[in-house]
Amino acid sequence: MFKEGDKVPTFSIITDKKEFILKEINTYKTVVFFFPKANTSGCTREAVEFSHLIEEFKKLNTLIIGISKDSPEQQKKFREKHDLKCELGSDIDGKICEIFSTWVEKSMYGKKYMGIQRSTFLISEECKVLKSWPKVKVPNHALEVLEELKKIS
């Protein structure tokens, strides 16, 4: 998993609206949050919290994209159902999850399976990780990211 100062490779991902491209040099910072599944309670709360703060992030020249393995159609339904304002990327083949090391072995009720570890990365205009949050706890996480962004801006 990326740590502070690590360089993030360029990538592109299909959203429910268009293609999102993280380039070597951007004109904005980027928050990338990985979530396990659209329309589940924790993922919905996280996406809604980021959406409620989207204007504050924009004032700090920061884009937000949430990424899961849901299809673009599922992401579109998720966005519309909850009036989400952030981009939602569809990583069906898991390549972006692999780059960020968020595709991990999990365990529930003693059963092991592979899934997305809820994680967030704040990335600079030069594609360097400014801060990472592995194993995110959802309540107030978006606000925590915003407060960190304010400190470094």
Question: Which residues belong to the active site?
Answer: 43
CA dihedral (117, 121, 127, 129) in degrees, to 10, reads -110
Q: What are the E-state strand segments in 16-133? A: 19-22, 29-34, 62-68, 87-90, 103-108, 111-116, 119-123, 129-133
Q: Which of 9, 66, 58 is nearest to 40 (CA)?
A: 66
Region of 107 please: left (phi>0), alpha (psi -120 to 50) or beta.
beta
CB contact at 8 A, 81 and 72: no
Number of Cβ within a 10 Å radius of residue 34: 27
CB contact at 8 A, 145 and 120: yes
